[in-house]
Amino acid sequence: MENLKDKLKNNQLSIGSWITLAHPAIAEIMADAGFEWLVVDMEHSVITIREAEELIRIIALKGLTPLVRLTALDPNQIKRVMDSGAEGVIVPMVKTAEEARLAVKAVKYPPFGSRSVGLARAQGYGMCFEEYARSINEKSIVIVQIEHIEAINNLEPILRVDGVDGTIIGPYDLSASMGKPGRFKDKDVLEKLKTYENISKNLRKPLGYHVVQPDTESVMNKINAGYTFIAFSVDHLFLGHTVRNGLTEIRKNLHGKTVD
């Protein structure tokens, strides 16, 4: 089976999801669900670097690709999550090619990048540093989030940055940057999404999208539109929707019955 790096390069479909709840059991349950990769979200959660390492470990031991969505474009945080064993990062709010280059450099070792060297979990706690150092620049994954109107305006130079493996739309922030938060069917928002699709396809770059709500029809619509790097919902929404839908169905079927 091809790995995520190859799938991104070859524009092949891969489906993952988002983790915001720090308990290791969440990562184990999500990994066993059949996703190909999981993102530990450090931007919109209270996950600490210690908890992130635990989640990364479980995801990797389950045979999935562990990615970390950063708090910001922060080389120090990139260094720490990569040393924790992440195979790549998702960098939020990248607006320019220069920011994309900074992200790549922070992930890679010299001479291609500027990441400093440590002996942590990723390097086998010092036992397999040479093997890791030989392969990490080639194997590591850098995904930049296209979630601002400025990023759409600078999309072509961003996509041409060497070392950027893919992009993913942040639908809420993109619409918010246009003054239309959450209005995904707005004409102007749809127009910018079409611009993203056209430029990415012209440059033969993978289309990425986070379908935030656990809506399978929306996922299929994105696949049919040519998206190949798709995040399907997020742990707390899977939980919340399942509980609410189940209780709604139970109450609907009671039809006035009482429960002792």
Tell me phi and psi for residue 50, to 5 degrees.
-65, -45
The tens digit of pLDDT for each residue in 241-251 reads 999 999 999 99
Residue 168: DSSP 8-state: E
pLDDT tens-digit series, residues 54-93 = 999 999 999 999 999 999 999 999 999 999 999 999 999 9
- Mean pLDDT, rounded, for 36-60: 98
| pLDDT score recorded for residue 75 | 98
CB 35 within 8 A of CB 66: no
Report if residue 259 sits inside a domain.
no
Residue 152 lies in a domain: yes
260 falls within a domain: no
- 255 pLDDT tier (thresholds 50, 70, 90): confident
Instruction: Given the residues 44, 148, 236, 255, select the one marked as catalytic.
Output: 44
* pLDDT above 70 for 151: yes
pLDDT of residue 2: 79
d(CA 41, CA 25): 16
pLDDT value for 260 = 52
Q: What is the pLDDT of residue 112?
A: 95
Residue 217 lies in a domain: yes
Q: Which residue range(s) make up the domain with 107?
A: 4-254
pTM of structure: 0.94
Beta strand extents in 32-94 (DSSP E only): 37-41, 65-69, 88-91
Q: At 155, which CATH number?
A: 3.20.20.60
Provide the H-helix boundaries in 120-256: 129-139, 149-153, 155-159, 171-177, 187-202, 216-224, 235-254
How many folded domains does the chain comprise?
1
How is residue 77 written in tokens? 């945080």
Cβ-contact 65, 87 below 8 angstroms: yes
Query: Is-catalytic flag, 148?
Result: no
Banded model confidence at residue 5, pLDDT cuts 50, 70, 90? very high
85-102: pLDDT as tens digits? 999 999 999 999 999 999
